[in-house]
Amino acid sequence: MFGKNAWNKYEGKKLDELMAFNEEYKDFISKCKTERECVSYAIELCEKYGFKSINSYKSLKPGDKVYATNRDRNICAFVIGDEPMEAGINILGAHIDSPRIDIKQNPLYEKTDFAMLDTHYYGGIVKYQWVTHPLALHGVVYKKDGTEIKIAIGEEPNDPVVCITDLLPHLGYDKNSKPANKVIEGEDLDITIGHMPLNGEEKDAVKKNIAKLLKDKYNIEEEDFISAEIEIVPAGPARDMGLDRSMVIGYGHDDRVCAYTSLRAVLDTEKSKYTTCAFLVDKEEIGSVGATGAHSKWFENLIAELINLSTDYSDLKLRRALTNSRMLSSDVSAAVDPLYMGVFEAKNAAYLGKGICFNKYTGSRGKSGCNDACPKFIAQIRNIMDMNDINYQTAELGKVDIGGGGTIAYILGNYNMNVIDAGVAVLSMHAPNEIVSKVDVYEAYLAYKAFVKFAE
Ligand code: MN
Ligand code: MN
């Protein structure tokens, strides 16, 4: 069903199922605030559903359920289909990195009796939104001997949190007269982490006290920050929003809402004609670069491994498998905000509550940099949606020439496979707390489930 409010379909038991699914999703985003946490959670979920690591298979046959990970930051889950891999794979690809603030490699300093951590933001954040909030620290520290220390401080009700301070309005006249993108500059996003001096110390006594605490409690030396990856994110769990509990407010819906629903769609689907796949990638927010971004060769290499476990391997089989694949680039859309109607073109915009949103193209200024999906493929998708009674909508990212953005769609499109962007509409995207509609979360899950069963 195109362009209609999806809530009208839900009452009684169906509404209960929708709400119950969202409770499971809330648990996921409340616990998974980094790529690594998403991957660990996904591994647990895969194993609960009977998926086994690729390393435990000597060969693969239809119906086998397999997952593979890459550097703790990517995971792929597959159900092997009846057709050989060469016939193509039904892929759901989503990203599990979200905009945030990272700490620098040499971060710790003291100023006016405060211990501070210097930071470098990650992805497209609106800097002034990140000050004065309780923030948590999540990540890993690697010692020289290879020991990994996991960090998650600020999520339990009794945990301490950290914060980026801001100037009071009484003294903020000059600062607040600046344009919004200059009010808080990148180097102003330092974190206050302590102010109690170490007894008997004269110089940098507060910093020394924090260094001692890190050593005593976590076995972390100051130099270990060089080989650490610590992400500063909003503290606390996702919550119901609206007196009718119709929405979820929380950190990282972009793009963990599509990652969770895509993963669940593959886990909840038994064997299909074609092999099905949920592919969760990292680094989308900074250009899909590096070993764990969508541009990495990891996915292609993994498909080669799967072919090798299923049949006699050849390079041609790999190329055919990729070219014959179909993919939904599961990523969020910018939802129309009643307070800021001016940036949207109402007929071609995403709305909370109208179900999964397809973007034929994103890009900016004349569709630059987008994956412009093939209309024949879109017609097949429309058919799948309607046959499964799924509410869907189509959108562009704002009015022409207003702005724009990109996803991983074109990167997998480079393999010559059919790809279209398909995801959940989000309000306040990239803010510390983003908002989605529960009905869109559930409809996206149902849409992804219908897509992976796609059979020509
Ligand atoms: Mn995204
Ligand atoms: Mn984003």
Mean pLDDT by 10 residues, the chain (456 residues): 96 98 98 98 98 98 98 98 97 98 98 98 98 98 97 96 97 96 96 97 97 96 97 98 98 98 97 96 97 98 98 98 98 98 96 98 90 96 97 95 91 97 98 98 98 89
- Going from the Cα of 243 to the center of ligand 1, the distance in angstroms, rounded, reads 28
- Going from the Cα of 253 to the center of ligand 1, the distance in angstroms, rounded, reads 9
- Going from the Cα of 410 to the center of ligand 2, the distance in angstroms, rounded, reads 15
- Going from the Cα of 93 to the center of ligand 2, the distance in angstroms, rounded, reads 14
How, if at all, do strands 89-95 and 100-111 pair?
unpaired
Q: Which residues contact 44 (CB under 8 A, 6 or more apart)?
A: none
Which ligand is nearest to the Cα of residue 331, counting in written order?
A: 1
- Going from the Cα of 253 to the center of ligand 2, the distance in angstroms, rounded, reads 9
Which ligand is nearest to the Cα of residue 408, counting in written order?
A: 1
- Going from the Cα of 255 to the center of ligand 2, the distance in angstroms, rounded, reads 7
Separation CA 89–CA 324 (nearest Å): 7
- Going from the Cα of 270 to the center of ligand 1, the distance in angstroms, rounded, reads 28
Which ligand is nearest to the Cα of residue 434, counting in written order?
A: 2
Closest to 404 in 3D by CA, of 337, 333, 340, 339: 333
Contact present, 94 and 79 (Cβ < 8 Å): no
Separation CA 251–CA 237 (nearest Å): 8
Q: Which residues contact 154 (CB under 8 A, 6 or more apart)?
A: 134, 135, 136, 137, 160, 161, 162, 235
Query: Residue type for 26, please?
Result: K
Closest to 71 in 3D by CA, of 219, 293, 374: 293
- Going from the Cα of 225 to the center of ligand 1, the distance in angstroms, rounded, reads 29
pLDDT at 10: 98
- Going from the Cα of 254 to the center of ligand 2, the distance in angstroms, rounded, reads 5
Separation CA 90–CA 455 (nearest Å): 9
pLDDT at 352: 98
CB atoms closer than 10 angstroms to residue 196: 12
- Going from the Cα of 254 to the center of ligand 1, the distance in angstroms, rounded, reads 5
Which ligand is nearest to the Cα of residue 258, counting in written order?
A: 1
- Going from the Cα of 285 to the center of ligand 2, the distance in angstroms, rounded, reads 5
Separation CA 306–CA 381 (nearest Å): 27
- Going from the Cα of 329 to the center of ligand 1, the distance in angstroms, rounded, reads 10
pLDDT at 455: 83
- Going from the Cα of 370 to the center of ligand 1, the distance in angstroms, rounded, reads 14
- Which residue bears the tokens 């500063």? 232
